[in-house]
Each structure stands twice: as structure tokens, then as C-alpha cells.
Amino acid sequence: MKFDTFLQSLTKLQNIELPFLVSHEKMAPFERINQLRSLDFSSLDYREAAVLILFYQKNNETYFVLTERNEYAGVHSKQISLPGGKKEKFDLDLKHTAVRETEEEIGINISVQQVASALSPVYVPPSNFMIYPFIGFANQSFTFNPDPREVKNIIEVKVADLFHPDVVQFQNMTTSYSNSTSVPYFKINDYVVWGATAMILSELIDVLDVLLKQ
């Protein structure tokens, strides 16, 4: 997907209605779908976090970056994630959280002005975080310098690969909802991308599908 064409389509993002749960449910375990439909978010005392989908140019193709987390004592150990993290008291807003955390995790500099918009938030029950996904862009390629305390691997993803017919697959997993349940996931660069990250990418795909057809 050529970067110039992609960037032009991205400017129309504010003009479309986000699909939210319609997209999220496509990549959620069955048990989580019922919870998503019944949750009263106003009653939750959740923590806030922000992640960044950073689109950039590489050989005139459009890419974004995922990270493989290091192993640690936590519910998201070793998972594939978008760069980002929890909001701190000194952050001006969630956009600054997304930029700051991304810069710290993958070792690049991002202009806040390059962060264009946001997708729908995703609530993660096991860690009690509400994750706010932002979209950014950069008309350049990057040399990544990931923080070894947090990031095991950098995964560069070609946007066109999200639309491959076999990108969505299923496998039985142990989750916070069940010891064995069929979970949808994205097979990206031989990595299994599931959970909140997959739900965010599901909405991204649906949004891009609309934008690129306009």
C-alpha cells in the first residue's frame, strides 16, 4: 500500500463513524463478547493507558510497528502489543501518554503534531485498564532502539498484510475467562496477535476498508 495514497485516505478519518463494538467483537473470545455488551463503563474505577499506531514510510510502502513484550510477572507477559503504556500524572493528556510511552519503548522521536486521531477505547478486565488507541504518521523510515527492559522484539508490519485473506485464525487458549476457549487472532509475521491489540487492529482494518474505498 503506497504511503502517499494511504496518507491521503487517512485525512478523511474524522468524517466517518467509528464501528467500536462491531469491530471489537470480531476478535474477542465468546465469553468476552457478552461482557462487552453488558459492561457499564461509568461504574468502573479503571486505570487509563494509551497506545500508538504509528504509520510510517519504508520504501514507499506503509508500515506500522508492534512490539513483543519481555517475559515478566504480569498478565500481559510475552504478548504482542502496540507501543504505549499507562497515563502518568505529569502527562498533559492521553495523546502525550501515547507519544511518550512509544518514544520510551521503541527509541524514536515523534512530533505530537503527527498524532492525528484516536480509535475507540478498549477495556481490559484482567489488568483493569481502559486503553485509548491513537493514530500517528511519519513520512520517513525509522531506526528503532527498543528499551530492553520492556521490549524483546520490534515487529514491522506492512499495512497491506492486514488485508490478507488468512490473516485471521483461531486457536484454543487459556484466558481470564476460561481454561480452554477458541480465540480469534491475527497471524502477522508469524506472530500471534490477540486480545486488546487484536481488537484495536480489527477496528483499524474496518476503518481503513471504508477510507480506502472512498
User: Do the beta carbons of residue 183 and residue 171 sit within 8 Å?
Assistant: yes
The C-alpha atoms of residue 197 and residue 129 are separated, in whole angstroms, by 13
Query: Which of 98, 122, 121 has its CA nearest to residue 111?
Result: 98
The 10s digit of each residue's pLDDT in 156-212 is 999 999 999 999 999 988 776 666 788 999 999 999 999 999 999 999 999 999 998
At 90-144, the pLDDT tens digits run: 999 999 999 999 999 999 999 887 898 899 999 998 889 999 999 999 989 999 9
57/42 Cα distance (integer angstroms): 39
pTM of the model: 0.94
The answer to whether residue 76 scores a pLDDT higher than 70 is no
Q: Which domains does the chain have, with CATH numbers?
A: 3-19+41-159+195-208 (3.90.79.10)
